[in-house]
A and B are shown apart, each in its own frame.
Chain A
Amino acid sequence: MAVSWRSWLANEGGKHLCLLLWLSWNVLLFWKTFLLYNQGPEYYYIHQMLGLGLCLSRASAAVLNLNCSFILLPMCRTLLAYLRGSQKVSSRRTRRLLDKSRTFHITCGVTICIFSGVHVAAHLVNALKFSVNFRQDMIELNAARYQDEDPRKLLFTTIPGLTGVSMVLVLFLMVTASTYAIRLSNYNIFWYTHNLFFVFYMLLVLHVSGGLLKYQTNLDTHPPGCLTINGTHPQTTLSADFLTEHPHVSFPGGFSRADEFPQNNLMKICMEEPRFQAHFPQTWLWISGPLCLYCAERLYRCIRSNKPVTIISVTSHPADVMEIQMVKENFKARPGQYIILHCPSVSAFENHPFTLTMNDFEICCFLHPVKIQRFCPLFILESIPGSTLMVHLEVHLRSH
């Protein structure tokens, strides 16, 4: 029993610890953001207008920021393969953890889907509330331009609304093509729709630049819920004349004059109208790093795969198996690697993975034509030993 517990810890412990840390970070972000918008004084007026929808939409947005940032990191396969293979990371546990990168990517993806659902639902309710709770004195805080403006107009005529709808549609295409059944049967649909991630990120950058969400900047001169004198605040309006004519009017709390209010009483006098300012888009800070890293990695992979490959030999084996030996400059095959073969003269769109056999100086792979009906026989015809065929090879490390 003790041995199995220790071996579980050694094998699975790292993975579960990382999962726990990631989960805690998500929960903390969600909770902190929820409380900030629920209780923060700078969001007092907008919270009055929108209610729970504001807190849910902002909290889910914070979780989305984290996951949209993290989801790109496990896909930097060249970097991960370098870390995994280098002498710096010699611990078997770390290597085993790095092998779980694809699972982590899927976990972040599922989280993005769930919290996008929460975020969209909350914002739809917010759009309705903006329209219904329109007030003339809070016109700069409101996304609606007049009372009872059609919420659908708010959705389609504002930058955050339009980019939000587009992002949902892109996410819909990506997610429906990523199910196990589709990946198994039509891998190309999955691959090409998943590359729409770039469109998703560009829309995300625009989505947060809309500046619809504002916070109050002058909390010291206008504490939320204060009394305005000669103001047009509908809740608590007193005029200076009223105070001079009725010096002993009783205020809430039993005070007879306004200047007897204690400092911590909410009913303070407002010095000026509330002023609002849009937030700096935090999302840009979250996603810029991983996005740049991933783009750099894709560029590097593209450049690396464009070097020509020379075919040394093509051998026919029983059971319709072909062995192809290739040589590529500055490349040494290592165990666990697989290649993605792309031959433009055979097919401009098809990329097919093949496992490499162990061979120090050459790339050797076995093609099973039964598996990929059209591609393999055509590729074999194109493969003349000694020729330099334009073949793009992307080398990857197999992970589970």
Chain B
Amino acid sequence: MGQIEWAMWANEQALASGLILITGGIVATAGLFTQWYFGAYSIAAGVFVCLLEYPRGKRKKGSTMERCGQKHMTKVVKMLGPLSRNYYVRAFLHLGLSVPAGFLLATILGTACLFIASTIYLLAAFRGEQWIPIESKPKERPQVGTTIKQPPSNPPPRPPAEARKKPSEAEAEEGAAGGPTGGPQVNPVPVTDEVV
């Protein structure tokens, strides 16, 4: 339980709430409920919430799955600076946005869902989480010379690549990849290949 990143879940909730608000707003405006202008507000608020929440924040550990095409919105949201980074701001913003939609029947569920998202954001902010934009690293251009490998000198069956390599090459590979210490793996228990 200690490693849970609540902000990620709050982000999914806020995005879903935005969509629910848009749907409720459309039902209210098209169904011509009395006080239909709350429906129009709900559509606008839903669109704003969806755009704000679309770019997913970076996880503390490990890689984060980006949403399709989120690069563009990441730039916009990043420009807001601490207003978008801080989750307390998001929590209270969502709380404030959800209140007017609660006056109309069609959008009341959107209010409830956005309220839940706001609560989870508050929890995330309390635990010190922050929104960090996912920035793509510039691709390192591979040196053409080093990518050309020599064909294998011995016929099959060949031992794995690590055993075949010369010591200098093995060290260079290790330095780059940070792989396991020294040579091929020595199994403590004898391993037999049982082909069924």
Contact surface of A with B, Cβ cutoff 8 Å: 117, 120-121, 124-125, 127-128, 151-152, 155, 165, 168-169, 172-173, 175-177, 179-182, 184-186, 188-189, 315, 317-319, 347, 349-350, 373-374
* Stretch with Cβ within 8 A of A (4 or more), from B44-52, B85-93, B129-137, B180-188: B180-188
Sorted nearest first, the 7 A-B pairs with minimum C-beta distance are: A176-B12, A176-B13, A151-B105, A319-B180, A181-B65, A186-B4, A121-B27
Which of B9, B17, B108, B112 neighbours the largest number of chain A CB atoms within 10 Å of its CB?
B9
Given contacts A169-B116, A173-B13, A185-B59, 13 further A-B contacts (CB under 8 A): A121-B106, A165-B109, A169-B109, A172-B13, A172-B113, A176-B13, A181-B65, A185-B8, A185-B64, A186-B8, A188-B1, A318-B180, A347-B1
Question: CB within 8 A of A189: which of B4, B27, B56, B62?
Answer: B4
Complex contact A168–B109 (CB within 8 A): yes
* A-contact 0/1 string along B58-79, CB 8 Å cutoff: 0100101100000000000000
Complex contact B116–A317 (CB within 8 A): no
A-chain residues with CB within 8 Å of residue B143 when the two chains form the complex: none
Interface SS of A by simple majority: helix
A-chain residues with CB within 8 Å of residue B31 when the two chains form the complex: 124-125, 128
6 A-B interface contacts by CB (under 8 A): A128-B31, A152-B105, A175-B16, A176-B13, A180-B65, A186-B3
Complex contact A318–B181 (CB within 8 A): yes
Complex contact A127–B4 (CB within 8 A): no
Bound form: Cα–Cα A189–B10 in Å: 11
A-chain residues with CB within 8 Å of residue B17 when the two chains form the complex: 172
Of all chain B residues, the one with the shortest Cβ separation from A179 is B12
A-chain residues with CB within 8 Å of residue B23 when the two chains form the complex: 117, 121
Complex contact B105–A315 (CB within 8 A): no
Given A124-B106, A128-B31: A176 and B5 interface contact (C-beta under 8 Å): no
User: Closest approach, in angstroms, between the C-beta of B173 and any C-beta of chain A?
Assistant: 15
Tally of chain B residues near chain A (CB < 8 A): 36
Complex contact A185–B12 (CB within 8 A): no
Bound form: Cα–Cα A124–B112 in Å: 15
B156 within 8 A of A: no
User: Closest approach, in angstroms, between the C-beta of B86 and any C-beta of chain A?
Assistant: 21
Of all chain A residues, the one with the shortest Cβ separation from B4 is A186
B2 within 8 A of A: yes
Of all chain B residues, the one with the shortest Cβ separation from A177 is B9
Complex contact A186–B5 (CB within 8 A): yes
Of all chain B residues, the one with the shortest Cβ separation from A175 is B16
Bound form: Cα–Cα A184–B24 in Å: 31
Complex contact A374–B3 (CB within 8 A): yes
A-chain residues with CB within 8 Å of residue B27 when the two chains form the complex: 121, 124-125
Question: CB within 8 A of A350: which of B1, B56, B113, B116?
Answer: B1
Question: CB within 8 A of A184: which of B20, B56, B65?
Answer: B65
Of all chain B residues, the one with the shortest Cβ separation from A124 is B106
Complex contact B12–A182 (CB within 8 A): yes
Enumerate B83-125 residues with CB–CB distance to A below 8 Å.
105-106, 108-109, 112-113, 116
Bound form: Cα–Cα A182–B15 in Å: 14
